[in-house]
Amino acid sequence: MPTDDCLRPPVLRPGDTVMLVSPSGPTRPERVARGIELLTGWGLRPVLAPNAYARQGYLAGGDELRAANLNAAFADPEVRGVICTRGGYGAQRVVDLVDMDVVRRDPKVVAGFSDITALQFALWRGARLASVHGPGAAWLDDRTPPRSAESLHAALMTTEPVTVEAVKEEETYPVRVPGRAEGRLLGGNLCLITASIGTPDMPDLTGAVLLIEEVQEPPYKIDRMLTQLRRCGALAGVAGVAVGQFTECADGWDTTVADVLTERLGDLGVPVLGGLPIGHGVGQLTVPVGTPAVLDATAGTLTTAPAVR
């Protein structure tokens, strides 16, 4: 694997306090209650951020409120992990208010996905903090069954490498360019990656393995986003592409999302692996981001170094 020079927070241990924050959209208390039950079962002590259930339209409270909750979690020495309740929209509006000096002084594991990609990009830019791309605390058993819980537990509470295998049931499974690539795993939700172009948080993907996943975006919009990444040069030096779940990404046209991904990624000259159960779909698995990774598209595996130490 490539050199591991990221900032890795301490592994979570039984008895550790984790704060549940809502940096993006508003959440449902009944789903968070299930997440609290799960985290408590692992021996952790989940506590709600003061405004975790706030609501202001499509946001979980105003920008200053959400940023204050994040900064309080990062500043509290008793809090050892920051678990986002959900994504939605809004993280990009508050990332410039996060106190990166505090993050660097006392690094904590941060878990979330979807809109949380914006927060993870900011933490990578501001602190080189490795984090965890996985389900939030607003837990839904139908979508994230026991295997999903076990995967999140392993990423948060062990220091073992994480391996995810491509599965034939995923719609993106046919998307593949054989080969083996090594590089830092960066990325997450495709909309948020594209929305980061031109901001300070857009990472340099040269030599990186890019992770992409998406939900409820038709194939032509996937095409548009990938084309923008290509045209701005973001994919010029990428080492490989790990393709996760593209959930409910269909419309009335004959062109499928797998067709688009194959056409837009297949000529990059690098390994591409689809079918990874990472994203918004049923059976979502957890992976570290910001850590060294090996993408073996021939064998159908993505292996990443842990986000914790």
Using a CB cutoff of 8 Å and minimum separation of 24, what contacts does 139-144 make?
139/31, 139/32, 139/34, 139/35, 139/38, 140/31, 140/34, 141/34, 142/282, 143/281, 143/282, 143/283, 143/284, 144/282, 144/283, 144/284
The answer to whether 303 touches 155, Cβ cutoff 8 Å, is no
Q: Where are the alpha helices (DSSP H) in 79-116?
A: 100-105
> Rounded distance, CA 309 to CA 102, Å?
19
> In terms of residues, how long is the chain?
309
* Dihedral (CA of 152, 155, 160, 161) sign: positive
Answer for the pair 305, 291: CB distance below 8 angstroms, yes or no: yes
Question: Exposed, middle or buried by CB within 10 Å (0-12, 13-18, 19+), for 268?
Answer: middle
- The span from the first CA to the last CA of the chain, in angstroms, equals 16
Q: Which of 212, 233, 235 lies closest to 222, judged by CA?
A: 212
Active site residues: 114, 213, 280
Burial of 301 from C-beta contacts in 10 A (0-12 / 13-18 / 19+): middle
Q: Is the dihedral of CA 25, 279, 123, 241 positive or negative?
A: negative
Centroid of chain to Cα 175: 20
